[in-house]
Amino acid sequence: MSTDLSELTCPDCGARDQREAFCDSCGAALTRARPTAGRKAVVPAARAAEPVASVEAAGPVGATAPATAATAELEPELEPELEPEPEPEPAPHITDEADTVPLVEVARAAAEKAEQAEREQAEAERAERARALLVPVADQSAPSGIVPVLPGKPEPIVPQRKDSERLEALDAGIECQWCATRNPPERHFCRRCGQRLAYAPVEARRPSWWRRLIFFWRNRPLPYAGQRPRLRRGPGQAIRPVVWTAVGVVVVVVVVQEYKPASTNVRDHFAKPNEISNWTITASNEDPNHAAKLLHDTYSDTWWGSGFAPQNSNGTSLTVTFTQPVNLLDMGLTPGAGTAADTFGAQGSPETVDAVLIPIPGKGDPIKKTFTLDDQPGFQKLQLRGDDIRQVVLTITSSYQPTSANPPKAVETAITELEFYTRH
């Protein structure tokens, strides 16, 4: 049976040039259709001798008479075109069941086969493109000794545990019976494999005494996994904070008593200063017009003069005597011949001053301090810090020269005001 679906003639209505599996005119299945006139029909020699009437007899039951007559009229036209072919080669025997297979199924099988071939070809092309991307092509210009290779696979990052070096360096502790890893003695499960450490622990290194005293809770055994820790109740829980508070107070008192300078500095740092008004002052040398008593008159336009030029005032001293012993905190000194810029620069001013704090007899040795003053007008605060002080001796060791453009003929070292402060 012919399987060509192009240019067939319907056996029922005689419609020509049919290209589908069913007739466009009557809808009959073209299973018994013959090729259209004008094409050479190729049929086996055995079937060429069969009468056309046998083909008509094989038609579907119930076919109408006009359709049969039309088919009979076509036979004389097709017979001249049937030319005997040379003896064909032996072909495989085709049973009658194959002749009855619908052309639709044959067309579908052919289409599926073609589609399968296209898919296989597309898969082969994709595989070839992927292979070209994965497998590098050797560079002809590169040296023969260099061979291209694929990039290496990065190794995964292994998480690091904190204090791993310290744990690895344990020279004592519980050794796991599964992985032989050393574990701290307070553990119940291995830190590496998690197995239970259910055997006698090895004696661990004893902590120092101060660690046992401060971190006393670390000596307690830890509960096992899933075990509820025991609640600590009773009078001991209320007494412990009181005891530790009392111990802290005792330690603070002892430190304050034994290390008096430290406690005094803390006390003086937070103390409120109070100015001392009951004191007298004398000078080893002074200008008659600018006596030492002017240092304690609370006026900013009066000053004490050393009576010597600034370069010759080294060694001139002032002695301050308090009416009663005082706990000194600070001293305030206003250098120069006034607080205004023009009056300050008219005379010299002290640069470095040595202060000796003399306590009352039996209260310690004299305290000596050295201060460096700024060459500028205004109040300058100096820290003294001494207890039970009866006298303060100030000695000028160097002086600044006048800064005025037109200083007077008589130039000397001058101090405008002195102030002393005690704890409130």
**Boundaries of every domain in the chain:** 8-84+98-106, 172-223, 272-423
Instruction: Please give the pLDDT value at position 116.
Output: 92
Q: How confident is the model at residue 209 (pLDDT cuts 50, 70, 90)?
A: confident
The half-sphere exposure of 90 on its side-chain side, counting CA atoms within 13 A, is 1
Q: 22-46: per-residue pLDDT in tens? A: 777 787 777 655 555 444 444 444 3
CATH tag for 172-223 (out of 3.30.450, 3.30.1370, 1.20.120, 2.30.30): 2.30.30
Homologous superfamily, domain 272-423:
Galactose-binding domain-like (2.60.120.260)
Phi, psi of 257 (to 5 degrees): -75, -40
Q: Is 8 exposed, middle or buried (0-12, 13-18, 19+ CB in 10 A)?
A: buried
- Residues 274 and 413: their CA atoms lie apart, in Å, by 29
Is there a shared CATH topology between the 172-223 domain and the 272-423 domain? no
- pLDDT tens per residue across span 322-360: 999 998 889 999 999 988 888 888 899 999 999 999 999
Say whether pTM exceeds 0.75.
Answer: no
**For residue 116, which of 105, 128, 124, 127 has the smallest C-alpha distance?**
124
Structure confidence at residue 105 as a pLDDT band (50, 70, 90):
confident
Q: What is the pLDDT of residues 117-159, one digit of tens each?
A: 999 999 999 888 887 776 565 555 655 667 777 777 777 776 6
